Chains A and B, each alone.
Chain A
Amino acid sequence: MSVEKAIRIQLNGESREFNVTAGESLLALLRRSGLTGTKRGCEDGACGSCTVIMDGAAVNACITFAFQAHEREVWTIESIGEYDDPSPLQKAMVEEAGVQCGFCIPGIVMSVKALLDEIPNPTHEQILENLDGNYCRCTGYEKIEDALHRTIAETSGEEPQWTR
């Protein structure tokens, strides 16, 4: 059996220790630790449904080894909003009907968060760049764009640089 190694992750604001094997992905670690909001769609870095934020950048947890998160800060969907206090994007997604099956949504929420944390009012090209790896098969992205537009207007306090 493969050898286990102890790592420490600053996970959703809490310092946590885990024993991981060399080949274990961050996605597998998160999901077995009860953080199932991060989804598994391809395990190939190709769908975006496993997106989490590591040291400020959106990464695909399925192609990140768990040990790579050692001594780093990881945020997952579980840290973003609750029923009584959803994030502006989650609220907009609900109200603009951007959620259909919802399997892609946590990944999209995390990708957008990473972007807006850095660039509060991005250009459309920056949004396309940012969301290029997040696939949604249900919505045709229209209502997701509606929700994004509204969120950017709300959170940046500015008129978005692109129109709906």
Chain B
Amino acid sequence: MDKVKEFKVVNKSVDKIDSMQLALGKPSFVADLVPEDALIIKMLGSPHSHARITSIDTSAAEAMPGVHCVLCHENSPRHLHLTAGQGYPEPSPYDTAVFDYKVRHVGDRVAAVAAETAEIAEAALEKIEVEYEVLEPVLSIEEALRDGSPVIHDEPDVSHPLPVPFQPEKNIVSEVGMKEGDLDHEMETADYTFDHFYETPYAQHVPIETHVSFAYLDAADRVVIVTSTQVPFHCRRIVAQALGMDVKKFRVIKPRIGGGFGSKQEMLLEDVCALMALRTRRCCFWQLTREENFRYGRTRHPINFRLRTAMTAEGVLTGIGMEAVCNTGAYGGHGLPVVGCCGSKVLPLYRWKHIDFDAKVVYTNLPVGGAYRGFGATQAYFALESQLDEMGHAIGMDPVEMRLKNHIQEGEGSPVFAALGEGKAGVEMTIGSCGLSECIKLGAEEIGWGRRTLPEEKTGRYRRGLGLATLMQGSSIPEIDMGAASIKMNEDGSFNLLFGATDLGTGADTVLAQIAAEELGTTVDMMLVYACDTDLTPFDVGAYASSTTYLSGEAVRKAAAKVKAQILGVAAEMMNKPIDELTVRDANVVAADGSEVTFSAVAVYSLYERNQFQIMDVASHITHKSPPPFSAHYVDVVVDTFTGKVKVEKYVAAIDCGTAINPKLAEGQTEGAVMNGVSYAICEEYLFDSKGRMTNANMQDYHIHSLRDKPKIKTILVPSYEDTGPFGAKSVSEISINGAAPAIGNAIFNATGARLRRFPFTPERVWRAIREQSTVPSPSPEAVLSI
């Protein structure tokens, strides 16, 4: 493709096409569309972390007036499946039943009721009598791996669709690793070596819309599922598998989604809605309460790291050994792909010669890990970027210089790309576009890096610190993910643009419309976007792995190019001119001599006048690369050394996402990810009691940041051009959640001299670290009283 850098529609901040609809509050989301007479589903969640259901009696519940169906393991089909939406066959185990005779975490499915009202359904749940044999729970990574530990998945029918080292008898979901060079030797001989442990917490996406779905039988007796999902096609496949029915029985429709961030890359409600609809022949509606969303919804995987690194006295990075143990909770879900991304999206950022990567995923009886924006890279960057800061400090090298000296450049590759894929080897790749040096420099200027002083130079109760983290991610999963789009022309010159990609609030529908309009030579208001409906729209793997703009966007561009060729063909016939003299411009076909016909005239001709046919085409796209976006994140924080409270005052994110198809939306993606990252770094954490029950499962106690908590955020878009992406684009959505924890941790060190290897950076944790590690004086008793 030519490097088109002058654009008419792309690289412009056109209004997001659905935003007025949403700002007006028009019915747009699943819960707004549910028919009035739908039955309401409520779930009985497990009170235990680990137990066998020895008996379950639903007869009293079933006998209640207004109750239409009660489901539990005794009356539901058993086809073990995976709830995570991934490429097929998946790199993850089939370890989940629609309802099981065993429960594996607090909140796990025990039974569900469909009734005329929510009150009746809730009353019916209380009438279900369950007897449990309570089993010893496994509540940490260490316990999971201990010899003789209780086996969480001891069901005989558990299996894995791919040949990976799946060892449920040891609570091990999978293992993955790679080796390059000789790290052990390097650790013995290098000028400087470092070896530390890092931990990351359980945290959640907390989309403001909880999981929600409804299902009904249409007049042809097919099951229509309307659901808030990032993966409509995977959802259709998984529901069919879970219920042991044909894919053709199901139609999945995705309306607007009230935020996902990865949580809705999962089939969590749809199987039950479908089964209830089949049993009752009524529309059945299920929305999780906020508490259920915390307990039964998905989380970010907590991961423990040991990180060994080596460098020369001049600050050249030479060796890295990353050991990662990932807690996936009660079900395998996204564990292996997530922990794989700790390596594949993180290690290639610097030019290591010696690499050891060793990762494991374990089951525990805690909430289930899922896909969450950043997807493993977030956790691993905390370890890597914290340690890099420490390495620079050890030799008195500025963190900016350290990164400029070592980061990967255009034209370079990494052995990691070929070694690590999803449940199989990866794909070799050289970097085609990298604006990271520029990001680092512009970000440093914006934050005022020049005023940074060293920890030992600070005084007083409130201490200011500056911190930096640099990052990369990917754009789609090469040679696995596929996206497709179709475009059909109407007689007024408008186009129906249909694709399977799912806008979960990101603005993907708008971005894809811009790409189509640019290629077709028309405007966004002439693109009628419809997505996604598995009966009508072409396939797409869905919204994950930072793939929609890069992968689905190129499918859209290809479809548009094919439709454009048809338009030119019709115009050539109409104008009696050779096709190669024609081009498109402003919704017209223009000839070399300046004569033109409108798109509308072309469409009318093709539909009504001569040699009629529908101008329409479809295109699919897979990628052979996953070009990383790059970013440099800077923070300016003030630490109250008396209380340990950390205030983030300013945040700068400089990002190279290739061509920003819609700059304001790209900034919005960055700012939203940054803010989510800051909240995660400062205060978000699941808390558990000794039995593994989450104790803060509500939005008062699990705090997410509000407007008041927001630092001043400055986004700098640093353009580069990625030849393999549509109009030079790469991804933007995930990368910026990865920076906050390490950058803030580094700033806390810069402010106080205390290094925290675990977050969230709560006042208590920071206060303790300051007292234990640094020479910052404790406040006098009088000062304490005045706080």
Of the residues B15, B19, B21, B36, contact of A32 by C-beta under 8 Å: B36
Q: Which chain B positions have C-beta within 8 A of A121?
A: none
A34 to B668, CA, bound (A): 31
- Find out whether the CB atom of A101 lies under 8 angstroms from the CB atom of B256: yes
Does B771 sit within 8 A of A, measured CB to CB? no
Using an 8 Å CB-CB cutoff, how does the interface string of B654-684 with A read, 1 for contact, 0 for none? 0000000000110110111111100000000
Using an 8 Å CB-CB cutoff, how does the interface string of B24-43 with A read, 1 for contact, 0 for none? 11111101100010000000
| Of B4-12, B482-490, B499-507, B624-632, the one touching chain A | B499-507
Q: Which chain A positions have C-beta within 8 A of B506?
A: 100
Q: Which chain B positions have C-beta within 8 A of A2?
A: 119
Chain B interfacial residues counted at CB < 8 A: 59
Q: Which chain A positions have C-beta within 8 A of B496?
A: none
A83 to B20, CA, bound (A): 7
Which A residue sits closest to B713, measured CB to CB? A142
Does A13 sit within 8 A of B, measured CB to CB? no
| Of A3-11, A65-73, A86-94, A152-160, the one touching chain B | A86-94
B 41-58 contacts with A by CB, 8 A = none
Does B261 sit within 8 A of A, measured CB to CB? yes
Does B430 sit within 8 A of A, measured CB to CB? no
Of the residues B28, B205, B207, B674, contact of A140 by C-beta under 8 Å: B674
- Find out whether the CB atom of B667 lies under 8 angstroms from the CB atom of A94: no
Does A131 sit within 8 A of B, measured CB to CB? yes
How far in angstroms is the closest Cβ of chain B from A75? 12
How far in angstroms is the closest Cβ of chain A from B677? 9
Q: Given contacts A40-B31, A101-B505, A131-B707, is CB(A139)–CB(B23) below 8 Å?
A: no
A95 to B668, CA, bound (A): 13
A 18-33 contacts with B by CB, 8 A = 31-32
Q: Which chain B positions have C-beta within 8 A of A105?
A: 22-23, 25
User: Interface majority SS on B: helix, strand, loop or mixed?
Assistant: loop
Q: Given contacts A40-B31, A97-B664, is CB(A137)–CB(B707) below 8 Å?
A: no
Q: Which chain A positions have C-beta within 8 A of B36?
A: 32
| Of B276-284, B512-520, B546-554, B698-706, the one touching chain A | B698-706
B 420-444 contacts with A by CB, 8 A = none
Q: Given contacts A42-B290, A44-B290, A139-B672, is CB(A102)–CB(B704) below 8 Å?
A: no
A92 to B665, CA, bound (A): 15
Q: Given contacts A43-B289, A100-B507, A101-B258, is CB(A81)–CB(B24) below 8 Å?
A: yes
A137 to B205, CA, bound (A): 8
Q: Given contacts A100-B672, A102-B18, is CB(A134)–CB(B23) below 8 Å?
A: no
Q: Which chain B positions have C-beta within 8 A of A49?
A: 208
- Find out whether the CB atom of B706 lies under 8 angstroms from the CB atom of A131: yes
Q: Which chain B positions have C-beta within 8 A of A40?
A: 31, 287
Does A150 sit within 8 A of B, measured CB to CB? no
A39 to B676, CA, bound (A): 21
Q: Which chain A positions have C-beta within 8 A of B715?
A: 142
Does B3 sit within 8 A of A, measured CB to CB? no
Does A138 sit within 8 A of B, measured CB to CB? yes
How far in angstroms is the closest Cβ of chain A from B543? 12
Which of A38, A46, A76 counts the most B-chain CB atoms under 10 A from its CB? Answer: A46
A90 to B715, CA, bound (A): 24
How far in angstroms is the closest Cβ of chain B from A3? 13
Which B residue sits closest to A100, measured CB to CB? B505
- Find out whether the CB atom of B209 lies under 8 angstroms from the CB atom of A41: yes
A 128-164 contacts with B by CB, 8 A = 128, 131-145
B 171-219 contacts with A by CB, 8 A = 205-210
- Find out whether the CB atom of B668 lies under 8 angstroms from the CB atom of A97: yes
How far in angstroms is the closest Cβ of chain B from A98? 8
> Hey, which bits of chain A sit against chain B, CB under 8 A?
2, 31-32, 36-44, 46-47, 49, 76-78, 80-83, 86, 90, 93-97, 99-106, 109, 127-128, 131-145
Given contacts A97-B507, A101-B207, 6 further A-B contacts (CB under 8 A): A42-B698, A43-B289, A101-B258, A137-B672, A139-B668, A142-B710
User: Which 7 residue pairs are nearest across A and B when measured between Cβ atoms?
Assistant: A37-B25, A101-B505, A102-B22, A140-B675, A103-B258, A140-B671, A77-B25
Sampled A-B contacts (9; CB under 8 Å): A37-B25, A77-B25, A83-B24, A99-B23, A137-B208, A140-B675, A140-B713, A142-B667, A142-B675
